A and B are shown apart, each in its own frame.
Chain A
Amino acid sequence: MSIPADLKYTKDHEWLKLLDGDEAIIGITDFAQNSLGDITFVEVPEVGDSFDAGESFGVVESVKAASDLYMPVDAEVLEVNEALEDSPESVNSSPYEDGWIMKIKVKDAASLEALLDAAAYEEIAKD
């Protein structure tokens, strides 16, 4: 199971990658995609929508189950990965690269402090 060291994580099995400035990319972890199995659908919000940390912003569905997605930090949606509409299976095959879900603007840098580092997340994601 892959848990890249340069990413931040949540207990809800999402990852966040800080970009320059106040922008970040988010997605679900390798552990999450593996638990869900074949992903068939990802529902994402509209660009420009805002969410509080911990708020549900979308759904990822697999053949087996539907699972809510929770915003890791207070954020505004800057861009969504439109390729997932036709190829949601990218979340399975490439959860940290092609299977990214959204680009966000982090509204409050302090909220990043609550995120987990790779070592802390690994403790949660143990089978």
Chain B
Amino acid sequence: MSDAKRTPLYDFNVAHGGRMVDFAGWEMPVQYTSIVDEHKATRAAAGLFDVSHMGEATVEGAGAEAFLNYVLTNDVSGMDDGKALYSLMCRPDGGVVDDLLVYRKAAGSYLLCLNASNVDKDLAWLAKEAAAFDVNLEDVSDSFGLIALQGPKAFEILAELSAADLSGLGYYRFVEGEVAGVPCLVSRTGYTGEVGVELFVPADRTAELAEALLAVGTPKGLMLAGLGARDSLRLEAGYSLYGHEIDDAVGPVEANLMWTVSLKKEGDFIGKAAILAKKAAGPDRKVIFFKTGGRRIARPGTDIVAGGEKVGTVVSGTFSPILNEAIGSALVKAAVAKSDELAVDLRGKAYPIERTRPPFLPLNPQA
């Protein structure tokens, strides 16, 4: 672990009992107390997550909008200042380079938030494509800490630390402001299915803000939450994770992410032709979500079977602390994607699964 990178909250995490593991080259807390307790606290009150390992890049210049609309599948042209947008960045063959958030700070000035595991690949990809546009690309990952405050008490906690009223901030909108006296970009986004925010903070002041949020939040039921709870929360919400539901060979047609692909926007974008062709012909494989009805987790790599034949592979699997059963997602042959006869093969025994349309629980992050 000696070569692993440390976030601005490394000392904070260790001091608060974080069990540190290597994740995408970063020393990150997988849990502080219990994944199940941290998960439940986030659904019931609030969870505070260090997600500073995520990468950030700025895209600036007169050609920024045209550039982003060429490299991303979604349409940035309709964004106004203070708007955030989820998009895929696809390969020419329709596979996914990364999924990311775009923030429009001003005309010709955008911030991208990238998966930690993909930052280097993304920046190389973006830099290569940027050559044809009037645009400046800068990796600003080291400048920011990123804190996610998620859960029904998130805005109540923020209200105690902010002079500005943030409660009216719309879903997928952001403002630049101050929380606990620390300047930050407050984004009404998240990866848990709960109401909440993500706070982009100057790296050297991230720990100060985390301590303030923890102090105010703890009496309200807030818990520090690690990557373990982050994964079980996002899977309950049915959100895709790069390297699981999507990757360089599994794109928006397979992963039910066509809502992130704007086929109407002006001009070409990378992957458009391949995505259109796959949509027309129908994909070979589809991503499905499922419940097992039992407590045994079908972990990534587990076979999905139908009639004794392997028809797919589990790509995400965890235990839902809210449903008290194992849940997961799988990449299966398209022909069986609507079958009710699927099973997971756990240690040689087939356990029937129930296909489920995510989210697994009624969730309303826009509330």
Contact = CB atoms under 8 A, between A and B. Distances in A.
B295 A37 contact: no
A89 B35 CA distance: 12
B34 A37 contact: yes
A63 B318 contact: yes
Contacts of B297: 40-41, 61, 63, 66
A102 to B, nearest CB: 18
Which of B31, B319, B326 is the most central at the interface, judged by chain A CB atoms within 10 Å of its CB? B319
Contacts of A66: 297, 299
B7 interface: no
Interface in B276-308: 294-297, 299
Which of A40, A89, A92 is the most central at the interface, judged by chain B CB atoms within 10 Å of its CB? A40
Given A63-B36, A63-B319, A64-B30, A37 B296 contact: no
A6 B297 CA distance: 34
27 contacts: A37-B31, A37-B34, A37-B35, A37-B228, A38-B35, A38-B36, A38-B37, A38-B319, A38-B321, A40-B295, A40-B319, A40-B326, A41-B295, A41-B296, A41-B297, A41-B319, A43-B296, A61-B296, A61-B297, A63-B35, A63-B36, A63-B232, A63-B297, A63-B318, A63-B319, A64-B228, A88-B295
Given A37-B228, A41-B319, A64-B30, 8 more contacts: A37-B31, A38-B37, A40-B319, A40-B326, A59-B347, A63-B35, A64-B228, A66-B299
Interface in B208-235: 228, 232
Given A61-B297, A63-B228, A63-B297, A38 B34 contact: yes
Interface of B: 30-31, 34-37, 228, 232, 294-297, 299, 318-319, 321, 326, 347
Contacts of A63: 35-36, 228, 232, 297, 318-319
Nearest to A34: B19
A60 B238 CA distance: 26
Nearest to B297: A61
A62 to B, nearest CB: 8
Interface of A: 37-38, 40-41, 43, 59, 61, 63-64, 66, 88-89, 92
Q: Is the interface of B mostly helix, strand, loop or mixed?
A: mixed
A40 B68 CA distance: 44
A41 B297 CA distance: 9
A62 B30 CA distance: 13
A88 B319 CA distance: 13
Contacts of B347: 59
Contact of B35 (A43, A59, A61, A64): A64
Which 7 residue pairs spanning A and B have beta carbons closest together?
A41-B295, A38-B36, A40-B319, A63-B35, A41-B296, A63-B319, A40-B295
Nearest to A43: B296
Nearest to A42: B295
A43 to B, nearest CB: 8
Contacts of A43: 296
A43 B295 CA distance: 10
Nearest to B232: A63
Contacts of B321: 38
A92 B232 CA distance: 19
A12 to B, nearest CB: 19
B354 to A, nearest CB: 18
A61 B319 CA distance: 10
B348 to A, nearest CB: 13
B349 to A, nearest CB: 10
B30 to A, nearest CB: 7
Contacts of A40: 295-297, 319, 326
A20 B317 CA distance: 43
A59 B35 CA distance: 20
A85 B347 CA distance: 19
A9 to B, nearest CB: 23
A68 to B, nearest CB: 10
Contacts of B319: 38, 40-41, 63
Nearest to B299: A66
A43 B346 CA distance: 12
Contacts of B34: 37-38, 92
